[in-house]
């Protein structure tokens, strides 16, 4: 379909595509693999965006849906929460915290805790001592931690994303946690391809997934299974032949008829 924008194409059209934005730390790889298996004729394009860019990409139509961090403005965007991340504190490997498995918010009281401008935990002020200036990005804050200038609290996925050999991280409890959600422009009903992706991230099977594939299956008439005929119940005789199993005939009942010798039985006087 030359000259037609993919976003305006029919979902069933071979030129249809699905554009998925995702923020740092979100890992769509597993869901993309399942999408490619289920909808091989619909290309999925990934768009890496910063948290500040994510919602604009959805509102402006640059992406059909996005893996974002809550909160989401529900006035013009829809969203379903997917999972909550563990919060960790990033420290140098020779830091005291590296010797323990878990750190509490109270443990940070004497630490200089960096608070980058792109912070994803949503707190007004982290615990501990504040730095003179806020780093512009999480990546900048990581560099400061490596230089021995404070520690940093982030979702675990961001600690992994910015992994360095000279740094480590430990679980941080008693602090906010970041929640990742799937978001898309608000509408009465989610578009077919968005509904397909919702089914994938929620773990629906192929048969239970709603959307285009489900509609295609509904249009295919399935033949009704035919009932198998019940076989006749027979029992074989040792000498060949057969007789119908069931109740004994009148000649085999004890109330009259011929006996074993073939002679008629006498009735009682």
Quick one: DSSP state of residue 5? Answer: -
Q: Is the pLDDT of residue 2 over 90?
A: no
Six token digits for residue 189: 């009903």
Tell me, yes or no, if the two domains 10-84+179-216 and 87-173 fold the same way. Answer: yes
pLDDT tens digit string along 231-261? 555 555 545 444 544 454 444 444 444 444 4
pLDDT band for position 220 (cuts 50, 70, 90): low
Nearest to 55 by CA among 236, 192, 184: 184
* Average pLDDT of the residues in 206-233: 55
Longest CA–CA span in the chain (Å) reads 125
* Average pLDDT of the residues in 207-233: 55
pLDDT tens digit string along 120-138? 998 988 999 999 999 999 9
Six token digits for residue 97: 């915290």
pLDDT tens digit string along 55-97? 999 999 999 999 999 999 999 999 999 999 999 999 999 999 9
Quick one: DSSP state of residue 209? Answer: -
Give the per-residue pLDDT at 124: 87
- CATH architecture type of domain 10-84+179-216: 3-Layer(aba) Sandwich (3.40)
pLDDT band for position 215 (cuts 50, 70, 90): low
pLDDT tens digit string along 13-64? 444 899 999 999 999 999 999 999 999 999 999 999 999 899 999 999 999 9
Q: 114-141 burial, b for 16+ CB within 10 Å, e for fewer?
A: bbbebbbbeeeebbbeebeeebeebeeb
Domain residue extents for the chain: 10-84+179-216, 87-173
C-alpha distances in angstroms, 142 versus 103, 152, 162, 263, 267? Answer: 18, 7, 7, 110, 111
Paired residues of 79 in beta bridges: 183
If residue 81 lies in a helix (H) or strand (E), which one and from where to where?
strand 77-84
pLDDT band for position 213 (cuts 50, 70, 90): low
CATH superfamily ID and name for 87-173: Periplasmic binding protein-like II (3.40.190.10)
């Amino acid at each position: 379909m030359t000259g037609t924008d993919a976003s305006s194409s029919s979902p069933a059209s071979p030129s249809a595509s699905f554009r998925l934005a995702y923020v740092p730390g979100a890992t769509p790889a597993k869901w993309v693999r399942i999408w490619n298996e289920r909808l091989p004729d619909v290309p999925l394009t990934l768009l890496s965006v910063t948290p500040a860019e994510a919602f604009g990409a959805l509102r402006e139509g640059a992406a059909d849906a996005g893996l974002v961090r809550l909160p989401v403005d529900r006035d013009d965007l829809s969203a379903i929460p997917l999972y909550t991340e563990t919060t960790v504190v990033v420290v140098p490997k020779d830091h005291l915290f590296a010797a323990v498995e878990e750190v509490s918010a109270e443990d940070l009281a004497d630490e200089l805790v960096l608070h980058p401008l792109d912070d994803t935990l949503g707190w007004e002020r982290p615990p501990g001592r504040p730095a003179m200036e806020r780093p512009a990005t999480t990546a900048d804050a990581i560099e400061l931690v490596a230089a021995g200038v404070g520690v940093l609290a982030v979702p675990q996925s961001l600690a992994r994303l910015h992994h360095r050999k000279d740094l480590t991280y430990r679980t941080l409890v008693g602090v906010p946690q970041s929640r990742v959600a799937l978001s898309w422009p608000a509408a009465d009903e989610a578009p077919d391809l968005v509904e397909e992706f919702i089914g994938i991230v929620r773990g629906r099977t192929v048969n239970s997934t709603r959307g285009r594939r489900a509609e295609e299956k509904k249009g295919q008439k399935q033949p009704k299974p035919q009932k198998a005929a019940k076989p006749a119940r027979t029992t074989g005789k040792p000498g060949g032949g057969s007789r119908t199993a069931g109740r004994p005939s009148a000649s085999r009942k004890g109330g009259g008829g011929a006996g074993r010798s073939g002679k008629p039985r006498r009735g009682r006087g």
